[in-house]
Amino acid sequence: MDEMNNRTQRAIDILRTNGLGALVKRSARFLHRQLPPGTSSYNGVRTNNCLYFDPVLPWRNPARPMYESGLIAGISEHVDEGDDVVIVGGGRGITAVRAAEQVGETGTVTVFEGASECIGRIKQTARLNSVADRIAVYHRIVGSTENLKGSRKGAARLSPSELPECDVLELDCEGAEIEILDGIEFRPRVVLVETHGLYDTPSEAVKTMLENQSYSITSEQVADEGRSDFCEDNDIMVIAAVRQP
């Protein structure tokens, strides 16, 4: 009852201050948020990160065609059928799905994600794109990063040395990239790293470490071409590196 009274009072305040038009618009947005999830496309991958009717509402833009463009490009170029891929920092599961499509039925994708809110999203995205059978998701914080995009509740710590061996290692872990590269006990064929200069993981430091570990840098590009200015200003780049023979 108190919540209903609070909403009623807020509606009255909006009507008095901003008029009927503002109240109608605010009410429409509130009702829209009560709808069940719909689907949208993030760089060609279906996701539930929207609500029904989002595509026709002027204040919503559910599709993100360049989402994680740097990592997606690296996956497209370097992941082969039958590969075992390890992803640290699964986010919404977009790159996991693209990797799973690349490895096919004979490959595997293993995802470690520390934010509890993301675990369900990754699994849901995998199911939506019919690749759940080849993606394993673990609620783990790898290394000592404190910059999770969500709650760490229930997540165990995993040392970089405990990561499973793989053909391709993708790191998008909000500042723990250098720590992980320094701590793993194997050398994947390919490493894809999203750098985070704003979290003391600058691109130049990542490239230097990879080169010191006998990798050749094959490309460097902004992490998300749809937000290129933000990525460049904050040194959020994707570096692709291939192990030298």
Domain boundaries, the chain: 2-56, 69-243
Instruction: Give the pLDDT confidence score for residue 29 in this predicted structure.
Output: 57
CA distance 146 to 174: 8
Residue appearing with tokens 């995802």: 111
When pLDDT is cut at 50, 70 and 90, the band that residue 152 belongs to is low
Long-range pairs for 212-218 at CB < 8 Å and ≥24 separation? Answer: 213/181, 213/187, 214/187, 214/243, 214/244, 215/191, 215/241, 215/242, 215/243, 215/244, 216/241, 216/242, 216/243, 216/244, 217/241, 218/77, 218/78, 218/242
Per-residue pLDDT reduced to its tens digit, 55-85 = 444 444 567 789 999 999 999 999 999 999 9
Instruction: Give the pLDDT confidence score for residue 26 in this predicted structure.
Output: 62
Instruction: Give the pLDDT confidence score for residue 48 in this predicted structure.
Output: 76
Higher per-residue confidence, 43 vs 31: 43
When mean pLDDT is compared over 17-21, 32-36, 48-52, 219-223, the highest value belongs to: 219-223
Q: Does the domain at residues 69-243 carry the CATH identifier 3.40.50.300?
A: no
pLDDT surpasses 80 at 240: yes
Per-residue pLDDT reduced to its tens digit, 36-49 = 455 778 888 988 76
